[in-house]
Structure 1
């Protein structure tokens, strides 16, 4: 299948440098104590993938986790030192870095959007999704380079669009084109990593790029006066996952600890939503360098996190993405259900109900609690 994919020469060196830095990161993680390759950390009883997950596990069970935002939330909630397992926190998240770390055996689980587990499976990596989160509102908007006119997704025709295969932003672009009735031949897809999207817009190497969160807010604040804008894309864009190496679930101790982590992760995310002022001050202001008003805007634009107890819809939406990306890239499609571990299906929803029925999510943070 012919595809209109291009990469501007000016970004080639940066892409290679980014790949090299990613590789060095993974190698350094694998060299750290407790961050070794498969089988070195826990060595618990072997667990079949269709067997019940045990309730108990040793306190010394180690999880290598790439979930920086939740790490901060657990710290503020006062639970970071009370986890019933040993956490080896890694400051990585998102598709490319988690996949690299999985391949190096340096990570057990990581937080990602809706597409990295699909890309990982396409590349032969054996993974499972163990937590599903649904946002009330979309994650991304389509941002334009200064001066580029974009009133609707139909105006994408003829535009240079930032495209990152294997990441949620890449699948979003494909969905938006399909909804607009456009093919890849109607646009020019510029293949770069999502970390380069903002720079590519400001340098006008691309006309349009999907941006979200602090990146979108900062970009518009800086370049709105020069004509930069953003529009809603009008397609489904609200799933995120926590996924793991399948081999981690074949260790009974690790699987049990991961189930506990999903519970505490849910609790921490709901705490941040319930305690907006504390979270804004600690994260958006002190950590991200935004104003309190900007932090509040980002929280309100996300809405309250939801944790479905039935993953049927999430699986169906993931299958749509599998089929769309497979058609666009020539990869072989697969059954999306195979990458979801349904033993975890109700864990997040049950933890959310418990947290919301208790005072846990309303407990205020204290100024004495340090941040990681």
Structure 2
């Protein structure tokens, strides 16, 4: 299957070629034709499946069709709601990339920074708005945003919206946008509250599901090391050195833990940075940019900060602390081994975390191989 077989238009095909895209992922194969047929969509899909392109490509094409048919108004025509600023920025980068030859204007708005540049950008005119709920509602309450011309609404990572307590804000946004619209709803999981929200947002939707949460882990090489809390940081150094790991994304459960590990690595001569909710937007973007450019070897992140971070060719994910929710483990390790590339997930487990590992193994339906590390050698035990 190729993008041209999905009836993607020539300017978008050209942009996809420029971006190095050759073949659509399974979710893109399923979602693009459905969105192009102007149907509402309910998609169960994790980060790393290619879902952003799955909605951005067809929405851009529909905008192009509207413009050519004379239906293209001057105001905001697309609204994408995301739970985090990092994801919002990446979604906008995708729209810009795939729409490079179409001439549509897109901007991102989120909290934690001055609203002035965002308001100025809005006043210049925008076709595609990607936003986090809080800042969007704030600007709407100041009458700085009009949704009267909105035709397409995308809710991305709905379950993360629920985790972060944004569902009430999402419902407020729904009251501001036109009832007559095409809506696309994406979530990695479908708990009852999310299903109920989907019923409120969507009209006679088509449903697709890609990579159920337990299956993603099958594509990634997984390793487990037992170590005490005190031993973990030295084990991390040892593995980074022995495996000659160029870059790795390291997960912690807490912001404090992320800072502590990053400081230890830097002190030990390993370029590293932490990324979490207490960091300023500028600091987070700088850390992510430095990591993507290879200026730092290790990015230490909490789960919420890392959600939506899209890093190509990431070969290693390290769980410095085992998550207490098994699905979170699958989300974490899904950062590597993307688009058919090889990936390795390494987990450190102390005595208090053994129960978490059992829950994870139950979910992924396989045992994680236990490894040992000794000077100059890492082996299975």
Question: Which TM-score bucket, shorter chain as reference?
Answer: under 0.3
TM-score normalised according to structure 2 size? 0.25
Question: Higher strand fraction: Structure 1 or Structure 2?
Answer: 2
TM-score normalised according to structure 1 size? 0.25
